[in-house]
């Protein structure tokens, strides 16, 4: 059990939350954190690359994605039980925004796959987008 899974399991709302939803949320939190690290590192790596091509758009997409993923990492654990409609709506909006940032970052990294930091960033974004999708699907399954 990851530390994220453990934290979610001991939360006071854990008994009210379906185990598959807690698992999906933990996986999503971990994927968002990994994605934020890869994006932040990729954006920083551009500062040291000796390239003639304009990479600012890619760098900005990586920074935006890192910030969105860190927001998700910060907010998802404290939403508690997703049983309320307002909690579901907020979590859904957050996950959609995170998926959107990941897709935008993937699009910008795609032309730069020759750079290892961009390749790692793209891979992390794919995993994060998938984890957000799975958590969104879990939310839809737990509607009353």
CA neighbor of 82 nearest in space, from 129, 19, 35: 19
Whole-angstrom Cα Rg for the chain: 16
CA neighbor of 46 nearest in space, from 131, 125, 105: 105
Tally of domains in the chain: 1
- Mean pLDDT, the chain, integer: 86
Which domain range does residue 51 map to? 3-141
CATH number for the domain spanning 64: value is 1.20.1270.360
Residue that has been written with the tokens 């699009």 in this structure? 107
Q: What is the DSSP letter of 17?
A: S
Q: How confident is the model over 17-37, as pLDDT tens digits?
A: 777 878 888 999 999 999 999
Q: How confident is the model over 37-49, as pLDDT tens digits?
A: 999 999 999 888 8
**What percentage of the chain has pLDDT greater than the value 90?**
57
């Amino acid at each position: 059990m990851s530390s994220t899974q453990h934290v979610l399991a001991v939360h006071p709302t854990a008994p009210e939350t379906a185990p598959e939803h807690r698992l999906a949320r933990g996986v999503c939190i971990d994927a968002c954190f990994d994605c934020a690290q890869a994006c932040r590192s990729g954006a920083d790596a551009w500062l040291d690359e000796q390239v003639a091509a304009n990479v600012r758009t890619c760098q900005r997409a990586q920074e935006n994605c890192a910030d969105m993923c860190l927001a998700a990492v910060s907010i998802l654990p404290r939403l508690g039980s997703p049983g309320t409609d307002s909690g579901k709506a907020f979590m859904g909006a957050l996950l959609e925004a995170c998926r959107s940032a990941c897709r935008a970052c993937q699009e910008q990294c795609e032309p730069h796959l020759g750079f290892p930091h961009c390749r790692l960033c793209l891979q992390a974004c794919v995993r994060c987008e998938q984890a957000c999708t799975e958590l969104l699907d879990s939310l839809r399954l737990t509607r009353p």
